[in-house]
Structure 1
Amino acid sequence: MGVDGFRPAGVVAVAAANALALPLALALPLALTLAMLAGMMLPWAPPAHATDVDTAIVFAVDVSASIDPSTAALQRDGHAAAISSPEVVATIARSRSGCIAVTYVEWSSQGQMRLVVPWTSVCGGADAQAVASGIRNKGDKGYGCHTYCATSISFAIDLGVLLLESFPGHAARKIIDISANGTNNDGVPVEESRLRAIANGCTINAIALPEVLRGIPRDLTRYFADNVIGGPNAFVMPLSTPRDYALALRWKMVREISQSISSEKMLAQR
């Protein structure tokens, strides 16, 4: 294992090819991406808490060309407010381990990504505030992508699988949370990535940015429901106005963590 549970670059290509069952031509760009992730982990200390958690969540946030400063702030501040909210912290406390793990990554075109917060255990309010601070201080400020900034949701999903594969402990439930304002227009077909994620035991949930902020004139919520989400208890969080975004993210996290608690209770009763 490398820093914070990430594999050294020498075995990343094998891990990517095995984890996703991709052709080598597609696995290599993802392997190189994971190698970059490993290097980006160096300034961060390993998690201070136990790495066995009830839920591991990848926040995969769209920073493509259509994400202007106001939309970037909506995503950045919304995620920070959600993870540190009293409702989410209380739900985490009710879980079996009392901990979840989160990582926050920004993406656009195939191979274009930036790790904002690496895998971090959240076992209480102080941990949640630290993650929120990292998102607010280091998250995209809008128009941060400068070279070929398309929207590859398929890459975001594949990247999410690789991050979950590299998580340094055990998670009872693995979730990829997609936040985006457009459809997949780059990389492999999103349906292929969805099937690979499901085969790897992941659930893909999504939140569609409000209509007034979307980069496309179509029903993005329906598109996500039909093409993006998948796995056990997958769902799309629909929104009407930008004001709904932060609150929707909060209840989205409560729902995701609560589903893990419910699953554990069902298993215990068998």
Structure 2
Amino acid sequence: MIRFVFASLISTLPVTAQACETALILTMDVSNSIDSAEYRLQTDGLAEALRDPEIVETMVAGENFLTVVQWSGVDRQAVSIPWTQMRTALDVESFAQKTRVMERAFVLSDTAPAEAIFFSLRLFDQVPNCARKVIDISGDGTPNGGSDVRAARTAAERAGVTINAIAIESMGLAITNFFRGAVITRNGFVMTARTHREYPATIRAKILREISRIFG
């Protein structure tokens, strides 16, 4: 009888949700410097990256959470695809499809990456059980609006959040160097895409590195 009561009690206790390995915010720069063709290269490139078999396998193994944020000026940040947990390959495919048809959130606006970071940091309150929290920043320009990017980076580091970046360069390494010096956290990294046409291959390599089950 005691054994039966104990078993019944255990069955009524709340089940703790299994923690995910990585919560990843994919942020997309849609400021004035991004034309419609470049925007489509970003969305199509992201969708194709998410369909990569290695990424699908790693996403599902870690039961990772993904969300997409579009950003540009000071008051221009929006969640385009809400947090979604990748429990099966179908979850990843569905997310990729939503990415491909995603409408552009803003046009004709400034570039304010600090506000994009502050906005993204607040979103992690919705996924408290993930071991790693990562903001993926991509852009083809330096700030011309908003607050101090270094202050946003400091806030991320204090919150235990990693910031990585893709610098989309037309020439030189000015944006790469800016991201390295002012945007990414101490445990983050920056990758360079030569023009938007290299973005698809770069975002694939970047996501795979971000969700790798080998930390670091």
Question: Is TM > 0.5 for Structure 1 vs Structure 2?
Answer: yes
Out of 107, 115, 124, which is 2:79 matched to?
115
Q: Secondary structure at the match of 1:175?
A: strand
Runs of 5+ consecutive residues of structure 1 not aligned to the other structure: 1-49, 265-270
The 3 A distance-change label for structure 1 pair 151 and 66 is same
User: Counterparts in 2 of 1:149-164, with a 5 A limit?
Assistant: 149-164=109-124
Determine the structure 1 residue equivalent to 2:7: none
Q: Deviations over 1:121-167 (max 9, x none)?
A: 112321111111111112428xx425xx1100001111111111232
The residue number in structure 2 matching 1:205 is 164
The alpha carbon displacement at 1:114 in A equals 2.2
Specify the code of the residue in structure 2 equivalent to 1:126.
Answer: L
Q: Which of 90, 101, 114 pairs up with 2:65?
A: 101
One-letter amino acid of the structure 1 residue matched with residue 209 of structure 2:
R
Residues 216-264 of structure 1 show CA distances to partners (whole Å, capped at 9, x for unaligned) of x8611111111110042x1001122433211111111111111xx2249
What TM-score, normalized by structure 2, do the two folds share?
A: 0.85
Q: What TM-score, normalized to structure 1?
A: 0.69
Q: Does 1:84 align with 2:51?
A: yes
Is 1:51–1:121's contact at 8 Å kept on the other side of the alignment?
no
Partner of 1:186: 145
* Partner SS, residue 52 of structure 1: coil
Which deviations, in whole Å up to 9, do the C-alpha atoms of 1:188-237 show, x marking residues without a partner? 1100000001100000000012317xxxx8611111111110042x1001
**What is the percentage of aligned positions where both structures have the same residue?**
35
* d(CA) in 1 for partners of 2:215, 2:204: 20
- Relative distance call for 1:122 and 1:231 in structure 2 (3 A) is farther
Q: Distance in 2 between matches of 1:231 and 1:164?
A: 19
Question: Which consecutive residues of structure 2, in runs of 5 or more, have no partner in the other structure?
Answer: 1-16
2:115 counterpart SS class: helix
What is the letter of the counterpart of residue 262 of structure 1?
Answer: I
Q: Give the AA of the match of 1:156.
A: A
Give the whole-Å Cα distance in 1 for the aligned partners of 2:69 and 2:168: 17
2:37 to 70, 92, 103: 70
The correspondence of residues 3-42 of structure 1 with structure 2, limited to 5 A, is none
Q: Which consecutive segments of 4 or more residues in structure 1 shift more than 4 A?
A: none
Alpha-carbon RMSD: 2.0
Residues 76 and 140, structure 1, Cα contact 8 Å, conserved in 2: no
